[in-house]
Structure 1
Amino acid sequence: MPGKAIRARGVVQGVGFRPAIWHLAREFGLAGSVWNDAEGVMIHVYGDAAALEGFAAVIPKQLPALARLDTLEITDLTGEAAHSEFRIVASQSGRAETAIAADAATCPACLAEIADPSNRRHRYPFTNCTHCGPRLSIVKRVPYDRCHTSMAAFTMCSECQREYDDPADRRFHAQANCCPVCGPRLWLEAAIVPTPSQGMQPEPLGGSGRWSVQDAVPTRSVGTMSSMNGIIHQTADLMRQGYIVAIKGLGGFHLACDANNTRAADELRRRKRRYSKPFALMARDVDTIRHYAAINDLELIALQSTAAPIVLLQATGEQLAQGIAPGDDKLGFMLPYTPLHALLLAELGAPIVLTSGNVSDEPQCISNDEAREKLVGIADFLLLHDRAIVNRLDDSVARLMAGEIRLLRRARGYAPEALTLPKGFESAAPVLAMGAELKNSFCLLKNGQALVSQHIGDLENAAVQQDYRHTIALYRQLHAFTPSCLAIDSHDGYLSNQYGRQLAAETGLQVVSVQHHHAHLAACLAEHGVDLDAPPVLAAIFDGLGLGENGELWGGEFLLGDYREYTRLGHFQPIALPGGAQAMREPWRNTYAQLRHYFDWQILQRDYADLDIMPLLAGKPLATLDTMLTKNLNSPLSSSCGRWFDAFAAALGLHAERVDYEGQAAIALEVLATPLFVEEQAYLESWNMERSGDFLVLSWRGLWQAVLDDLTRGTDKASIAARIHHTLGAATVDVLNRLSSQTGADSIVLSGGVFQNRLLLEAVSEQLRQHGKTVLSPQRYPMNDGGLALGQAMAAARSVSRGATLLVDQ
């Protein structure tokens, strides 16, 4: 009897792949076996030739919902089947090669069970199956078996074991399988348990009732399902009254409060020290979200996907608490993605704030003890459970721009999904790419795939640095990964750079330094599957800051490049950053530097004395700044597009004094421009393209003149903001068209954090396509620095594989 050995690689463990194979083999009347191992899934199957051919052909067409098949390798088997039926056999160990699935939102079947009073999992907050539930958040090593996860602490009851052992059951080998009898437990604690003399503490922040903490459950409550139902009801009641609750979720803790309670939202901001950045929201269903925001078909698909990201939606209709998204016209909504969230939101009805459970800029808490230590003083109560979180996962964030859902933060639901590398990288050397300073993620390049980690955060924070190092070590262990080289950003001041060099010194590995904007370019090429030997593309890479060549600071760049190399063809006019890093926090500094560069300041003060920006600037230490600028003291030149946005935002009175988070001023300018954008157009002849050596330099004196004149005439600032956006878009297209004629390149990459501005991305993309250009911009990986590690890995692999030494530090 003929036989075939079939090797399946991809996301094929913990997703119901083996039961699907079992069912197919039975349908085709085949004998043999299937098992997990460190490389994925191995199938040995025997039968007549036609059945074997049909079986192999249908596998890719009938994959389970969470599975992803990268390759299916088929070879002949000699000998006979050991038995007459088809069996699922025990996993085999070995060197780790297989992918780990991302955590997935609760599936419809599990939601139906927790809603069914006759089901044994009715209202059980940890219900899951092979189609949903925790994956990366609980895994410690591969193969993905229960003993290698944090669920090993829970011994399955006889009913769960029966499901786990039955190939016909959808919970067959569901490693997180559990029920109220044998699974994790839920309990509620007061964040600070009061002494009798404290009486009824803490005071409610909103609502008319009072809550005594003696009515809550101050210590762990185990046992009956009714006790867990009561805890969810109590938690909802506390939130209705205005309390802040820390909720242990899938990949970390969240801080939650009633999104309609302004006092609670304001108090959460004060305690968390998150004074301006918008809060994320969760609503029980799409109909509830529609009361507050508009949803189109693509946004609906994203909200209801197994990844269940936060989706940034245009705010409309009813108003939530004033402090939810101050100064923004968007609301970040997600749907419940665990049974616990679904049960809690069903009790509450109204939306809740669900923001990361941390002090601002620190990593999310993931353990109960950590939450008890760090969230005291922020949360009034802690909703805890005893399933350990192994891997921290923030919520992913997505936005619809230029006709595609694009990830702005890639974490839960997406990581650690691997990217199959384009043609030419099949034998690329293994690379560990360290990522950037802000919005850090790192990347493992291995066996023709790129595995980008979940969002780590800003490495300026010591706790984030520690988490970064821990997660790199964990990924290397999970994937038995030994790199042949390390890829770093060319900025020596980046902590990711410094840690990369430390690892290189400890291991003797080669270090490849990759220029920041080249990495953005390479990441976009990789995502879109551009072949290794494809011709170079043009790119507009706009961001806040990145180290260029010869110590320059870049950020408004026009490049021609591929994976291995790039040429800088043009850039924004370099303008000084008075005060260096301080100019990133105080936008007025950029306004003054721009105006001083393009105009005589004394004449400007005289001619535009009535503008609001003038007395604001006059009150600043301009004499000191002039000395710094004249003597080049802590005032580096930069072509940054991010600081360009800051300068114009401040001129229009938007966050001129200080920003509380990165991009706040630019976001405010986009929000201001949005209502009138379609009615306005660019300021004519308001930019110049000048030759400076080999470079085309884009300068803005005419734009500043037009803006100042419009402000003097009393033109609506929303119109001015719209015209500024149109002008930047038109100038960008003008430069790219000229460079396209010069180079013959018709494919153009648009990337960098500034292109998270929807108005800019859509305007530039549409105009370029009207000129016959092919436009590539990131979708699956962030266009901000969260996607930088992918580009670093690609550029390093290209350099190493071709033996290049130009970018390599010895």
Structure 2
Amino acid sequence: MATGAHVTQRIEVHGTVQGVGFRPHVHRVATTLGIGGEVRNVGGHVVITASGRPEVLAAFHRDVLEGAPAPARVERVTVTPLAARPYENSFAVGDSAAGVGTRAISPDLATCPACLTELFDPADRRYRYPFVNCSACGPRATIVEELPYDRVRTTMSRFPMCGACTTEYHDPGDRRFHAEPIACPDCGPALSWANTTGPAALAAAIEAIGNGGVVAIKGIGGYQLVCDAGNDLSVDRLRTVKERPGKPFAVMVRDLREAALLSFVDKEAARLLESPARPVVLLTARPDIAVSGVVAPRLPEIGLFLPNSPLHHLLLRDLGRPLVMTSGNRAGEPIVISDERVRSGLGSLVDGILTHDRPILSRYDDSVVRAGRVVRRARGYAPEPLPLPVASPETVLALGAQLKNTVTLATGEHAVQGPHIGDLSTVPAFEVFEDTARGLCRWMNVMPEFCAHDKHPRYRSTVHAGSWPADRRIPVQHHHAHVAATAAEHGVRGTFIGVAYDGLGFGDDGTLWGGEILLASYTGYRRFARFGHAPLPGGEVAVRRPDRMALGYLVGAEDFGDGALPPPPENRETELVRRMIERGVNCPVTSSAGRLFDAAAALLGLCEVNTYEGEAAVLLEAAAAGEPVRRPLVWKLHRRDDLWVYDPVPTLRELIGSARPANELSARFHATITEVTVALVTKAAAVSGTDTVCLGGGVFQNRRLTGAVTSSLADLGFRVFTGDRVPVNDGGISYGQAAIAAALLAGR
């Protein structure tokens, strides 16, 4: 570009650019290049006013974007020439202002290397201070009341900065320049344990854990329950406290070296473990690892994560052993963030509470990643905005499902998904659901004009939608939302083939769907194929008891004229189920792939009762771990009511009749579902003319099945997508609802 006189520009930068050190970064670049002007937070984005020669401004644009802090996500930049008098060659960080447009706040960021060095440097004034942070790390989403992101609108506003922190905060050359959560031992939050504070409180907690105790600790996004991962008695006691008899626990380790002693850590796993999000990463466990066998019973995997805050680093360094680190709550309830509630709800069950005086405004449980895909989107990932393939002309609040609930706010080209909430069946969880929805709206400074919700009439989220005017409600079918979430994340356009395999979702015909092939777009779908029906004897009882689900198939599977399954042994349970099915008493019909996995697990003797959601399916996949690709069991397709239908009866008949080991039969069962899926997708492609396939639903958390389906379809020339940043389970439902609602409103 030719040189010339100074010009002035207004540069608006949209995306995740607040709470990530973006303003200090802009200031450094401007100062280096001699640019005059200022940078400030406005609403949820950043506005830069810059004066300089055209060729210098071009370099400024390049360096601002190419060197942006790693957690930043720049999605859109607009540049407007200004006729204003050029600024002198000085650059300032201006006061924040309210504004309109897309708003985004950074997720919480794990302790950066520079702060970690300070934490363990005896000569540093923040030596062993559990709240050390800078502009590149520390709490963000969990402490923000509203945007724009400044200290006065966070929970740090109650901690006036001391002279030393004030100097750092205002020094453009310091990495704490405008670091809003800045703190030190003289002016910041402090730990407490019973009647002790500060280092003595930390020492008391460490002593309790080291002696085999269970301790509640206030983490970044909520309280956590902690114990020695190598102590059987401690882990068993933690299971009692949590009312969690079998579900695996996550283990926090000090560093990658320690993670590699417990699991097989490849480059991708290492990248995830050390990322600023610090998720729990599910990895293949090494044999004879030095943690209790009751941490993850009967599973070949272990969930590991690295410390995400200075407090966690101190705990791991001082104790010198892996720790079980799980959410601080009782079964079915949300993670606790209130100091008062942790004392009343968990205080009598633990050996002490390590708390502090920095309030948590938004609860964020730990995120979970498996095979590079997010299983639970919470701390470290949410509330980063997600794309909407069709911009929403009006603001939509999507209310999610009943289990693994999340809520999503859609406005313009983006959707902001709140953190994982969980099962809405309890009163505390429903209160959190409502608080989270209100909090998202406050952050985005909007009042939603529409709500999107599931069609199941008894979901608590659907009941909540009933408080909206009828013409402001957008009902979305459960499985359409599943596959739309995958499609939206990957920017799919036009018609696609949706494969939705999950536990249960309310279908258009009044049955419970869950093994579906849909021909879909964002504005509609047609059911093309399904799995064969089976009754759910006892409804929710059959969901909790795979052995009862197996009886449903043995006694009442949909008849395609190919002969019944072998009758089960006659006993009181069998007779009860038979009478229920014959009389149609509390036996809803389902086409669920998830329930078929449950039945297979029960018939192979792997799981009769689910002690946690999805346990049977998890154990069925675990049984096949390490098995080579096996030939499928027998399967058949039929035509019924203009649908293709997979008949699972021949498959189950061979499964029951075989004397082969359970691990081999599990591998063959997985191969069967893979082959069935490929056959149905191929038929759907022939009718629709599309080669795009979107996988959705909790069954696709199964790594063996997802990998086999994806590779088999790709070999045939299909483009196959599944959830990466958005969970394929019900945690992604609200995002799918938002994408569908936006497209419907745009097409009115």
Q: CA deviation at 1:342?
A: 0.3
Q: After TM superposition, list the pairs within 5 Å mapping 1:103-502 onto structure 2.
A: 103-189=108-194, 219-221=195-197, 227-228=198-199, 230-317=200-287, 318-400=289-371, 405-422=372-389, 425-426=390-391, 428-502=393-467
Q: CA deviation at 1:369?
A: 1.5
Give 5+ residue unaligned stretches, structure 2: 1-5
SS in structure 2 of the partner of residue 9 of structure 1: strand
1:661 aligns with 2:626: no
SS in structure 2 of the partner of residue 447 of structure 1: strand
Q: Distance in 1 between matches of 2:664 and 2:25?
A: 58
Aligned partner of 2:526: which letter? T
| Cα contact 1:277–1:660 (8 A) shared by 2 | yes
1:643 aligns with 2:595: yes
| Cα contact 1:268–1:378 (8 A) shared by 2 | no
With over 3 angstroms needed to count, the CA separation of the structure-2 counterparts of 1:679 and 1:10, relative to structure 1, is closer
Q: CA deviation at 1:118?
A: 1.0
Q: CA deviation at 1:96?
A: 7.0
With over 3 angstroms needed to count, the CA separation of the structure-2 counterparts of 1:575 and 1:30, relative to structure 1, is same
| Cα contact 2:391–2:746 (8 A) shared by 1 | no
Over residues 481-508 of structure 1, what are the superposed CA-to-partner deviations in whole Å (9 max), with x where a residue is unaligned?
1222110111111110111121x14xx7
How high is the sequence identity, in percent, across the aligned residues?
39
With over 3 angstroms needed to count, the CA separation of the structure-2 counterparts of 1:63 and 1:635, relative to structure 1, is same
| Cα contact 2:534–2:557 (8 A) shared by 1 | no
With over 3 angstroms needed to count, the CA separation of the structure-2 counterparts of 1:47 and 1:333, relative to structure 1, is same
Q: Distance in 2 between matches of 1:468 and 1:265?
A: 30
Pick one of 704, 719, 729 that aligns with 2:652: 704
Q: CA deviation at 1:576?
A: 1.0
Corresponding residue for 2:584? 632
Q: Distance in 2 between matches of 1:377 and 1:387?
A: 23
Corresponding residue for 2:505? 546
| Cα contact 1:70–1:420 (8 A) shared by 2 | no
SS in structure 2 of the partner of residue 52 of structure 1: helix
Over residues 252-305 of structure 1, what are the superposed CA-to-partner deviations in whole Å (9 max), with x where a residue is unaligned?
000101010001111111122111111111011111122221111111111100
1:682 aligns with 2:632: yes
Give 5+ residue unaligned stretches, structure 1: 190-218, 222-226, 804-810
1:579 aligns with 2:538: yes
Q: CA deviation at 1:14?
A: 2.1
Over residues 314-335 of structure 1, what are the superposed CA-to-partner deviations in whole Å (9 max), with x where a residue is unaligned?
1113242122112222111110
Corresponding residue for 1:807? none
Aligned partner of 2:484: which letter? A
With over 3 angstroms needed to count, the CA separation of the structure-2 counterparts of 1:598 and 1:420, relative to structure 1, is closer
Aligned partner of 2:459: which letter? Y
Q: Distance in 1 between matches of 2:585 and 2:274?
A: 53
Q: CA deviation at 1:750?
A: 1.3
TM-score under structure 2 normalisation?
0.96
Q: CA deviation at 1:608?
A: 6.9
Corresponding residue for 1:196? none
Q: Distance in 1 between matches of 2:327 and 2:228?
A: 15
Q: Distance in 2 between matches of 1:166 and 1:98?
A: 27
Q: CA deviation at 1:93?
A: 2.7
Q: Please, which moves more after superposition, 91-100 or 246-255?
A: 91-100
Q: CA deviation at 1:95?
A: 4.6
Q: Distance in 1 between matches of 2:331 and 2:62?
A: 51
Corresponding residue for 2:571? 619
SS in structure 1 of the partner of residue 475 of structure 2: strand
Q: Distance in 2 between matches of 1:620 and 1:68?
A: 60
Q: Distance in 2 between matches of 1:598 and 1:22?
A: 68
SS in structure 2 of the partner of residue 175 of structure 1: coil
Q: Distance in 2 between matches of 1:509 and 1:182?
A: 52
Q: Distance in 2 between matches of 1:741 and 1:453?
A: 39
Q: CA deviation at 1:238?
A: 1.8
RMSD over aligned CA atoms reads 1.8
With over 3 angstroms needed to count, the CA separation of the structure-2 counterparts of 1:46 and 1:549, relative to structure 1, is same
Aligned partner of 2:229: which letter? A
Over residues 26-73 of structure 1, what are the superposed CA-to-partner deviations in whole Å (9 max), with x where a residue is unaligned?
222221111111141111111212112221233211101221111111
| Cα contact 2:392–2:410 (8 A) shared by 1 | no
Q: Distance in 1 between matches of 2:392 and 2:538?
A: 47
Q: CA deviation at 1:133?
A: 0.4
1:652 aligns with 2:620: no
| Cα contact 1:272–1:378 (8 A) shared by 2 | no
TM-score under structure 1 normalisation?
0.89
With over 3 angstroms needed to count, the CA separation of the structure-2 counterparts of 1:598 and 1:442, relative to structure 1, is closer
Corresponding residue for 1:88? 93
Q: Distance in 2 between matches of 1:774 and 1:242?
A: 51
Q: CA deviation at 1:715?
A: 1.6
Corresponding residue for 2:3? none
Pick one of 703, 719, 728 that aligns with 1:774: 719
Corresponding residue for 1:32? 37
1:594 aligns with 2:553: yes
Q: Distance in 2 between matches of 1:394 and 1:431?
A: 25
Over residues 364-417 of structure 1, what are the superposed CA-to-partner deviations in whole Å (9 max), with x where a residue is unaligned?
1112221111112321111111111111110000001xxxx1011000001100
SS in structure 2 of the partner of residue 179 of structure 1: coil
Pick one of 655, 667, 672 that aligns with 1:722: 667
SS in structure 2 of the partner of residue 430 of structure 1: strand
Q: Distance in 2 between matches of 1:427 and 1:598?
A: 43
| Cα contact 2:42–2:99 (8 A) shared by 1 | yes
Q: CA deviation at 1:705?
A: 2.1
Aligned partner of 2:310: which letter? P
Aligned length: 740
| Cα contact 2:264–2:283 (8 A) shared by 1 | yes
Pick one of 683, 696, 721 that aligns with 1:751: 696
Aligned partner of 1:408: which letter? V
Q: Distance in 2 between matches of 1:538 and 1:764?
A: 13
Q: Distance in 2 between matches of 1:324 and 1:654?
A: 19
Over residues 694-724 of structure 1, what are the superposed CA-to-partner deviations in whole Å (9 max), with x where a residue is unaligned?
10010022212211221xxx32111111111
Corresponding residue for 1:200? none
